[in-house]
Structure 1
Amino acid sequence: MRVCIATQYFCSLLMGFMIKKSLKNTILINLGAFLLVLILELLGGWMLVDKYDTLYSFYLWGLGYTISIMTVIWINHFVLIPYLFDRKKYVLYGFLLIGAIFLGVSIKIYPKFSWIGITKMSSFLIYTTGTGMAAFFLRRSALMQRQKEEKEKLQQELELNYLKEQVNPHFLFNSLNSIYALSRQQSKETPEVVMQLSELMRYQLESAKKDFVSLKEELEFIENYLLLEEKRLSKRCAIEFLIEGESSNYKIAPMLLIPFVENAVKHGAQATNAQSTIDVNVSIKNSTLHVHVVNSKHNVASQSTRMGTGLENVQRRLNLLYPNAHVLKINDTETAYHVNLTINITD
C-alpha cells in the first residue's frame, strides 16, 4: 500500500514534467520521485529493521525495492505509454510491459532466483504498476480537460474582442451619418452634435478596454445617443427613454444594448419621412435587466432587411457572455418592431 501511494505521488509529479518539458525539470522531478519512493519504502519496512544484520543492509533492501519499482515506472511512462499505448499498439505494449515487470523482478531478487521470489515480486510490481497507471491516466485526463477549457476560453475571448472591434466602427459609421445629415441641413446644432459625438466616442473607446462597465454609464451612453438622434430627426420622430429601478449597482458588457437602439433609429425613423416613434424602456429588478425597444414601421421600412451587422454581433456576444442568463425575443409586425431582452446581470 505504501508503494501505491508513492507511485501516485510520482504520477502527479510526472505530469508536471509533461507540462514543462524541460530537461532540467525532468531530472529534478524524477530524482525527487525516486527519493520519495525510497523514503516511503524505508519507513514502511522500519518495523522489520531488526531482521537485518546492519542498517546498511536494511538500506540496501529499500534501495533494491526502489530501483525495481522506478525502473518499471520509468520504462512504462516514458517509453511504453507514449510510443506504444498512445499509438494503439496494445498487444506489443502488453508484451513489453510484462518484460519490464520481469526486468524489475530480476533487479530486486538478483542473484537469488526462486519461483517464490519471482511470484511475490511480480505480483507486487503488477499491483503497483497498475495503481500507478490508473493515477497517471486520471491525472492526464484532468490535465487535458483543463487545457481544453483554457483553449475554449481563449478562443471565446478572441471572438469577443473581434466582435467588440466590429461594433465600434459600426456605431461610428451610423453617428457620422447623423452629423452628415445635419450638416447638409446647415443646422446650427451641428457643432454641438459634433461635441456630443466626441463624448460618445470617448466613452466607447474607454469601455472597449474593459470586460464589464457600469450599467448606469451604459444607459447614460444610450440616452446621449438618443438625444443626438432626436436633434437630427427634428420633429418627425418622437423618442421616449424610460428607466425604472436602480442601475448604479450593476455591471454589463460594454456596447451590448446600443445595437438594438441603433436599429430602431435606422429602420424606423431614418427609413421614412413620415411621423414615427421610438420607445426604449429599461427596468432593473432583483439582478434582472429587461430592455424593451419598439419602433414604428411604415411601408418603406417594412421592406428593408432588419438583421444588420450590429444585431448579428450583439446576438453572438449574448450567446458567449450570457449563454444561460439571457432571453432575446424579436417580434416583427406590420406596424412595429419589438425587441425584448432579459439578462441576469452581476453586481
Structure 2
Amino acid sequence: MNNRFTQVAIHLLSCLAFLSLPYVLAEDGFSKLAELPVNPHEQRNLVSYLLTIAFFYTNYYVLIPKLFFKRKYFLYGLYSVGCFLLIDGTLVVINRQGRDQPAMRQGPPLSLEKMDRMPPPPFAGEDRPPFPPGHFPESGSQRSGLPSELSQTFFLTLVGFLLALALRINNRWRETEREKIQTELSYLKAQINPHFLFNTLNSIYSLAIIESPPTADAIVKLSSFLRYVIQESQKNQVSLRNELEYIGQYIALQRLRLGETAQIDFTVEGHANGKQIAPLLLISFIENAFKYGVSPEEPSAIQVSISIQDNGLRCYVANKKVRVFQPTAVASGIGLTNTKARLQLLYPDRHQLIISDKPASFTVDLSITLS
C-alpha cells in the first residue's frame, strides 16, 4: 500500500513539475502565468503540455504493453502517429477558436458626428493602412507563429514518446533480470535440497545397520528437516532463529550417528531475534565438514562457530581431512558450488567468503551483513 502511494505521489509531482517548466524557466514566467485565464496563446501551450502527459500515459500503459512488447511494431507506429495527429488537430482547433474571438474594444463607441469631425488619416493615400505601434494583423501573426507552434508540439510529443518507451523498456529489463535470478535460485535450491536429504538418509542408514537405539530419534529429526525444507525453503527470507535451530538438529543427528568417533564443537553466540536470512544458506558448509571430516577409521574433530552481532553474522567451520569411504563423496562438491552461487545472487556486496583448503584441513569463514 505504501509503495503504491509513493508511486502515485511521484507521478503527480512529476506531472506538476512538467507543467511548471515553461513558467519556471522563462524570464517573465510569472506574468505568463497571470495571463493564463485571458491569453489564448498561453492557454494553447498549457493544453499542449496536458495532451503530452495524456499521450505519455497512453503510450506507457496501453500502446507499449499491448503492441510494442507483443512485436506488433506496425500497429504501434500507426497508433503513435495517430496520437500525434490527434494532438496536433486539437491544437489547430484551439488556435482557430482563439482567432475567431472578437477583439475587445477600448472606450465608448464614437458617434457619427465625431467621426465626421476627425481629420483624415495621415497615410490615407498610401496602399497600406497604418496600425498602432506594436500591433500587426492578426492573421499574419498567427501564420508566422504556426510553424514554431507545430515544432513545439512535435518536440513535446516526441519527448513523451521516447520517455515512455525508455521507462517501459528499463522496467521490462529489470523484471526479466529478477525473473532470471529467481529461476537460478530455484534451480540451486532444487539441487541443494535433494543433496542434503541424500546425505541425511545415509546417516540414518548407518544407524540402522548397527541397529542403534537412536535410530527412531534420528527418523523424527529427519521428519523435522523435511518439514522445514518444504515449508521454509520456498521463502526468500526466513527467521534466523529457525535456521539456527535447523542447523542444531542436523548436528544433533550427526552426534547420534558418530558417537564417540568425532569431537564436535558447536557454539552460537549473540541474539537472532527479529533477524532474517536466506534459507539453507549455511548448512552446505557444515554438511561438507561432516562429509569429509569424519571417519570411523580415524579420530576427527569438527568446529562450527556462529556469532551474531548487530546486523552481522559470521559462520566459521573447520574440519580435519580424513579418509572418506563413501562412494558418493565425489558428488559432495555440489552443495558448496551452489551455495557460492546463491551468495553472489542474494548478498552480492554484503558477504565475504574465505575458504582455506590445505592438505590436512579445510576451513570456511563466512561473514554476511543481514538486512
Shared fold (TM-score greater than 0.5)? yes
The equivalent of 2:180 in structure 1 is 155
Amino acid in structure 1 at the alignment position of 2:302: I
Unaligned runs of 5+ in 2: 1-44, 68-74, 105-138
Q: Alpha-carbon deviation of 1:193? A: 1.1
Alpha carbons 1:179, 1:190 under 8 Å: kept: yes
Distance 1:174 1:8, change over 3 A: same
Partner of 1:290: 314
Distance in 1 (CA, whole Å) between partners of 2:317 and 2:65 is 52
Structure 1: give runs of 5+ residues left out of the alignment.
Answer: 53-113
Alignment equivalent of 1:14, drawn from 51, 54, 59: 59
Deviations 1:143-185 (A, max 9, x none): 1001100111011111111211221111110000001111111
Matched, 1:176 2:201: yes
Provide Cα deviations, 1:304-329, integer angstroms capped at 9, x if missing partner: 86971111111111111111111111
Could you give the per-residue CA deviations for residues 207-248 of structure 1, whole angstroms, max 9, x where no partner exists? 123211110110111111011011111211111111111012
Question: Secondary structure in 2 aligned to 1:324?
Answer: coil
Distance 1:163 1:45 in 2: 67
Does residue 51 of the first structure (1) align with residue 95 of the second (2)? no
> Which stretches of structure 1, 4 residues or more, deviate above 3 A after TM superposition?
33-52, 114-120, 298-301, 304-307
Letter in 2 for 1:13: T
Rounded Cα–Cα distance in structure 1 between residues aligned with 2:351 and 2:62: 42
Partner of 1:134: 159
Amino acid at match of 2:52: Q
Report whether the alignment pairs 1:2 with 2:46: yes
Q: Which residue of 1 aligns with 2:268?
A: 243
Residue 170 of structure 2 corresponds to which residue in structure 1?
A: 145
1:270-310 deviation line (CA, Å, top 9, x unaligned)? 4x621101111011112000000111123669xx8697111
1:337–1:269: structure 2 CA closer, same or farther, 3 Å change rule? same
1:4–1:128 Cα contact (<8 Å) kept = yes
Q: Could you tell me whether the CA contact under 8 Å between 2:355 and 2:363 is conserved in 1?
A: yes
For the Cα contact (< 8 Å) 1:2–1:41, is it kept in 2? no
Partner AA of 1:182 in structure 2: L
Residues 216 and 248 in structure 1, CA contact (< 8 A), matched pair in contact too:
yes
Identity of aligned residues (%): 34
Q: 2:277 maps to which residue?
A: 252
1: CA distance, partners of 2:195 / 2:100 = 79
**Residues 352 and 367 in structure 2, CA contact (< 8 A), matched pair in contact too:** yes
Q: Which whole-Å CA distance do the structure 1 matches of 2:225 and 2:56 have between them? A: 56
Does the 8 Å contact 1:263/1:306 carry over to 2?
no
Bigger mean CA deviation after superposition, 188-197 or 213-222: 188-197
Residue 192 (structure 1) aligned with residue 244 (structure 2):
no
Checking the alignment, whether the CA contact within 8 Å between 1:6 and 1:40 is kept in structure 2 is no
Give the Cα separation in 2 of the matches to 1:117 and 1:46. Answer: 10
TM-score by length of 2: 0.67
Give the secondary-structure state (helix, strand or coil) at the position aligned to 2:280: coil
Paired position in structure 2 for 1:226: 251
From the CA coordinates, give the structure whose radius of gyration is larger: 2
SS at structure 2 position matched to 1:136: helix
Instruction: Work out whether residues 350 and 369 of structure 2, in 8 Å CA contact, stay in contact via their aligned partners in 1.
Output: yes
Query: For the residues of structure 2 that align with 1:269 and 1:119, how far apart are their CA atoms?
Result: 92
2:231 is aligned to 206
**In the TM superposition, what is the alpha-carbon distance from 1:41 to its structure 2 partner?**
7.6
Contact 1:260 1:339 in 2 (8 A): yes
Report the alpha carbon displacement of residue 118 of structure 1 after superposing the two structures with TM: 6.0
Report if the CA contact (8 A) 1:245-1:283 is conserved: yes
* SS of corresponding position for 2:313: strand
Q: How many residues align?
A: 278
Amino acid of the structure 2 residue aligned with 1:251:
Q
* 8 Å contact kept, 1:244–1:283: yes
41-50 or 7-16, which deviates more: 41-50
- Alignment partner of 1:343 is 2:363: no
Q: Give the whole-Å Cα distance in 2 for the aligned partners of 1:345 and 1:238.
A: 31
Amino acid at match of 1:123: S
Contact 2:195 2:335 in 1 (8 A): yes
Corresponding residue number in structure 2 for 1:324: 349
Is 1:281 the counterpart of 2:329? The answer is no
Please report how far the alpha carbon of residue 38 of structure 1 lies from its aligned counterpart in structure 2 after TM superposition: 4.4
**How far apart, in 2, do the equivalents of 1:47 and 1:243 lie?**
83
Q: CA RMSD in A?
A: 3.4
- From the superposition, tell whether residues 306 and 20 of structure 1 become closer, same or farther in structure 2 (CA, over 3 Å): closer
CA distance 1:258–1:195, change in 2 (3 Å)? same
SS in 1 for 2:317: strand
Q: Secondary structure at the match of 2:365?
A: strand
Q: Does 1:313 pair with 2:357?
A: no
